[in-house]
Amino acid sequence: MSAEAWQITWFTLGVATLSTLVILPFGVALAWLLARREWRGKSIVETLVALPLVMPPVATGLLLLKLLGRRGILGGWLEKTFGWEIVFTWRGVVIATAVMSFPLLVRTALVAFENVNPRLEQVARTLGSGPWRVFVRITFPLALRGVIAGALLAFARALGEFGATIMVAGYIPGKTATLALSIYNLVQLGHDSEAFGLLAISVVIAFGAVFASEWFLRRRIR
Amino acid sequence: MVFTEAHSVSVELSRLRLPLAHFTLEVDVVLSGRVTGIFGASGAGKTSLLEIIAGLRRPMAGAVRIDGVVLTDFSTRTFVRPERRAVGYVPQEGALFPHLSVRKNLLYGFSGNHARPTGLTFEHVTGILEIAALVERRIQTLSGGEKQRVALGRALLASPRLLLLDEPLAGLDAPLRDRLLPYLARVRDEFAIPMIYVTHSPDEVLALCDDVVILCQGKIETRGAPAELFMPAARPRFERRPT
């Protein structure tokens, strides 16, 4: 494996890991809110969260580009406040993959929280635990395998993200080139054998992530 | 909250009102027995009533007072959260925490701030319920009867001032029910904790309760001493209520 292929692989793994870690607390909190609380606008938020699953990834990418560009509401603020450039940087890759993989985490964690018997939480309340303690000691441990499975699915989705990433971060070798973007670029240039090398790496990593996710889902404590 | 040695407690359910799927639960009664039975067919509103007392449901009207202390009062928007009520609750299925060992289940509510009545120690409770040998086991390895005894022990060890038992023997076969009844009687006799016992079995009412309220379609039909209401010569109409 060439040094470039290694660099692309590590960059992709790093970006996918980071984007998964970034969305994890928000995804878990939102999944719990959707599973356990009734609130105004809940169905709208549920729909918004699912949108990246059904919208063309490039369309999501275009939205992000407008939002995160220097003249965008968020991009302008991030640059002014933290000095962060987003578009055409690794940060753009992280944000694009995070947005695209967020629904998978939320939906899997939501099912995991819904599968926790609410009676257990009620009994824990009568035994002296407040809502936060019940979440930490009862709800979250019982939903943990589902949450891990969701995180692994989100990670796998982040590994393969293409459409939104190319819009927000472009293909810049050594800077924003992920496995998916590099495969596309190599095929465009007619370097099929190198593309197949990266394809093999993608298959192995994605298989491992999805296999682990399924394993966690199957072994969920009921 | 200081626990006294008294075996009885005054549970005042004042003009409670809660719409349910097919009728409205409407209860206005003061329960003051050592073990008060709430008897009624499935779907009579018994569990909803316990949930209101435990603070797991809010009524649409009315108040709940225990020994004069207001726990819920719709008119003044008073609502004491379940974790601050010191009201134990054992649901029908026991609801043991499947990811914790028997010991951790039993000790879950043990470190509370309530003053403990004499004798309510881990050793005594596990001894009375004969579950001392089970404490290192996983919940998944327990039988139905063992699970119910552990659930009962867990609720007791949290030192409640009132214990709510929601059909703890329903779903168990007859021989197992017969074996578990004496444990409930021992808990009643051994610990100074008043109980409200929900059931649809006249035998359980006769064996355990000193007062019984009969609930039908969300309303109290009658109340009195179990022997008066359930002995065949006295009131046979409550004997074979459909379950």
Q: Partners of B223 in the beta sheet?
A: B213
Give tens-digit pLDDT for A138-169: 999 999 999 999 999 999 999 999 999 999 99
Say what the pLDDT of residue B113 is: 47
What is the DSSP track for B92-120? TT----TTSBHHHHHTTTTT-SSPPPTT-
Is B6 a residue whose pLDDT tops 70?
Answer: no
Is A3 a residue whose pLDDT tops 50?
Answer: yes
Closest CA relative to residue B186, chosen from B134, B127, B132, B230: B127
Residue B217 CB partners (closer than 8 Å, separation 6+):
B22, B23, B44, B45
Rounded mean pLDDT of chain B?
87
Say what the pLDDT of residue A216 is: 86
Say what the pLDDT of residue B90 is: 95
pTM of the prediction?
0.86
Say what the pLDDT of residue B7 is: 63
Say what the pLDDT of residue A63 is: 94
Closest CA relative to residue B105, chosen from B85, B81, B129: B129
Give tens-digit pLDDT for B74-119: 999 999 999 999 999 999 888 999 999 999 999 999 864 455 555 6
Q: According to the per-residue pLDDT averaged within each range, which of A122-126, B108-112, B182-186, B191-195 is highest? A: A122-126
Whether chain B has a CB inside 8 Å of the CB on A127: the answer is: yes
CB contact under 8 A, A142 and B99: yes
- B-chain CB neighbours of A127 within 8 Å are 83, 88, 108-109, 112, 154-155, 158
Residue B108 CB partners (closer than 8 Å, separation 6+):
A124, A127, A129, A137, B97, B100, B154, B158
Nearest-Cα residue of chain A relative to residue B164:
A126
Q: How confident is the model at residue B233 (pLDDT cuts 50, 70, 90)?
A: low
Start-to-end C-alpha separation, chain A: 44
Distance from the A109 Cα atom to the nearest Cα atom in chain B, whole angstroms:
18
Q: CA A33, A106, B97 angle in degrees (round to 5)?
A: 60
Query: Which residue among A120, A122, A128 sits closest to B158, beta carbon to beta carbon?
Result: A128
Q: How confident is the model at residue B42 (pLDDT cuts 50, 70, 90)?
A: confident
CB-based burial, B189-221: b 16+ in 10 Å, e otherwise: ebbbbbbbbbbbbbebbebbbbbbbbbbbbbbe
Query: Which residue among A127, A221, A222 sits closest to B158, beta carbon to beta carbon?
Result: A127
* Distance of alpha carbon B210 from alpha carbon B144, whole angstroms: 27
Is A31 a residue whose pLDDT tops 90?
Answer: yes
Rounded mean pLDDT of chain A?
93
* Distance of alpha carbon A157 from alpha carbon A16, whole angstroms: 8
Q: Which is it for strands B78-79 and B11-19: parallel, antiparallel or unpaired?
A: unpaired
Say what the pLDDT of residue B192 is: 80
CB-based burial, A18-41: b 16+ in 10 Å, e otherwise: bbbeebbeebbebbbbbbbeeeee
- The dihedrals phi and psi of A41, each to the nearest 5 degrees, come to 85, 10
Q: How many CB pairs under 8 A join A and B?
A: 63
Is A102 a residue whose pLDDT tops 90?
Answer: yes
CB contact under 8 A, B98 and A142: yes
Count CA within 13 A, CB hemisphere, residue A112.
33
Which value, to the nearest 10 degrees, does the dihedral of the CA atoms of residues B55, B61, B67, B69 take?
Answer: 80
* Distance of alpha carbon B50 from alpha carbon B18, whole angstroms: 12
Is A81 a residue whose pLDDT tops 80?
Answer: yes
Q: How confident is the model at residue B235 (pLDDT cuts 50, 70, 90)?
A: low
Give tens-digit pLDDT for A4-28: 899 999 999 999 999 999 999 999 9
Is B243 a residue whose pLDDT tops 50?
Answer: no
Complex prediction ipTM: 0.88
Say what the pLDDT of residue B242 is: 47
CB contact under 8 A, A221 and B98: yes
For range B160-169, the mean pLDDT: 93
Residue B93 CB partners (closer than 8 Å, separation 6+):
A119, B171
Q: Which helix or strand (DSSP H or E) is residue B150 part of? A: helix B144-157
Distance from the B87 Cα atom to the nearest Cα atom in chain A, whole angstroms:
6
Percent of chain A residues topping a pLDDT of 90 = 86
Is B2 a residue whose pLDDT tops 50?
Answer: no
Strand, coil or helix: B170: coil
- The dihedrals phi and psi of B113, each to the nearest 5 degrees, come to -95, 0
Find the range with the poorest average confidence among A70-84, A200-214, B117-131: B117-131
Say what the pLDDT of residue B112 is: 46
What is the DSSP track for B25-72? EEEEEEE--SEEEEE--TTSSHHHHHHHHHTSS--SEEEEEETTEEEE
Query: Which residue among A122, A123, A221 sits closest to B99, beta carbon to beta carbon?
Result: A221
What is the DSSP track for B153-164? HHHHHT--SEEE
- A-chain CB neighbours of B148 within 8 Å are none
Give tens-digit pLDDT for A163-195: 999 999 999 998 999 999 999 999 999 999 999
CB contact under 8 A, B109 and A142: no
Nearest-Cα residue of chain B relative to residue A129:
B83
